[in-house]
Each structure stands twice: as C-alpha cells, then as structure tokens.
Copies of this chain bind each other. A is one copy, B any other.
Amino acid sequence: MAASRRPLAPDEPNRRAEIVRAASRLFAEKGYSATTIRDIAKAVDMQSGSPFYHFKTKHDMLLAVVLEGMATITRATRAAAARGGTPREVFDAMLLAHLEQLLAEDGRHFAATLLHEGHHLEPAALKELIAHKDTYEAMWQKALRDLKRAGNIGDDSRVTRLFLMGALNWTVQWYRPNGGRTVKQIARQISDLLLRANA
C-alpha cells in the first residue's frame, strides 16, 4: 500500500528516514492534523511538494511513524523479557525497556505519536496497528500471570494490565529529561508500587 521497503543505497544519507523523524517530532508536538506537509518539508530543507516523492500521502507518513514506534518498543521489551530471570526480574526489565523507549531523547516522539495520533489513521491501517498492539500487550499479560504465580501480585486480570499501561504511558505527559528523576528510578518506583513487598 505505502511506498515502503525500497532497496535504498546503503549508508548514504537517507532522506526518507529524515522525513519520518521530522514528522514524528512535529506530529508529537502539534498533532497530526495541525502539522502541514510544508512544516515537515521545511524541517528537512525541502520544497513542499518533495516529500511526496517518498510518500504517497500524508497518512502514509503517519503510518510509517507509528509502525516504527511500535516496532521499536516491541523489540526492546521483547529483548528485555528474553533475558530471563525470576518473574520480578523479567517484569522489572520490561518496565525499564518500555519506559526507555517512551522517554528517551531519540525515540519519544515516535512513542508520543503512536499513543496520541494513531486514531487519525485510515481504518485498514488502524486495524493493523491494533493487531500489533494486541500482540505487544499479550507479552505484558503473560508477565503479570507469572508474577501472580510467584505470589508477587494478587490480581493479574486484564484491568490490572490496563492500569499498568496507563501509569506507564502517562509518563509521556509529565516526564522531563532533566527533572531530577532518572528513567531507572521511575521504573523502580512503579515496580515497588505494584508488587507486594517480598517473594
């Protein structure tokens, strides 16, 4: 559908990726609808018609941003879980991975766009995104199930997972890089809040 996955000459300056990054920043800061093609073009020093050489439509740019955000966060969290350990160790590693992708300097605009602007996608693309999200959240549901088996939490229901996702994703609204607290401290704090003291 989109003009994705071109072969693209290796290690040359990749303008397409620059467009996607600039779009992610602008979508996150101003919102999808309030961001114009001219804004994006200007941010990468192009004329206003030129981005359409790389993308068929503005919606395709949004889709590229959102899919990259989803892929990055999924990859990081899956890798953290794969390192193994006790249920709590796995859970803590996942927390840290998720928060790092959400709050890190070079990825937070992708995450913010993913969380706040996804609903501007067309139905087909939105469906694709939701499928990815369901896969991702299933990882968390499993982690919660293991925590319960180990006696770390009392309830591993779907609502518990949704509360957790809310608390995590809401950090985008208030976290500031130089605000005194590190991402690691924040991850530790939510772990302490949710898990019973021992076990």
Does A33 belong to the interface (CB within 8 Å)?
Answer: yes
Say whether A190 faces chain B, with CB atoms less than 8 Å apart. Answer: yes
Cβ-defined partner of A170 (8 Å) among B170, B186, B189: B170
Looking at the assembled complex, report how far the CB atom of A179 sits from the nearest CB atom of chain B, in whole angstroms: 10
Whether, in the assembled complex, A53 has its beta carbon less than 8 Å from a beta carbon of chain B, the answer is no
Interface residue tally of chain A, by bracket?
A: 20 to 34
The residues in A between 83 and 131 inclusive whose CB is less than 8 angstroms from any CB of B are: 116, 119-120
Distance, CA A31 to CA B31, complexed state (A): 9
Return the chain B residue nearest A33 by Cβ: B33
Contact B181 A120 (CB under 8 A): no
Check if B31 sits within 8 Å of A189, measured CB to CB: no
Give the distance to chain B from A178, nearest Cβ to Cβ, in Å: 16
By a CB distance below 8 angstroms, the chain B residues around A159 are 181, 186, 189
Residues of A in contact with B (beta carbons under 8 Å apart): 31-34, 116, 119-120, 154-155, 157, 159-160, 162-171, 173-174, 181, 186, 189-190, 192-194
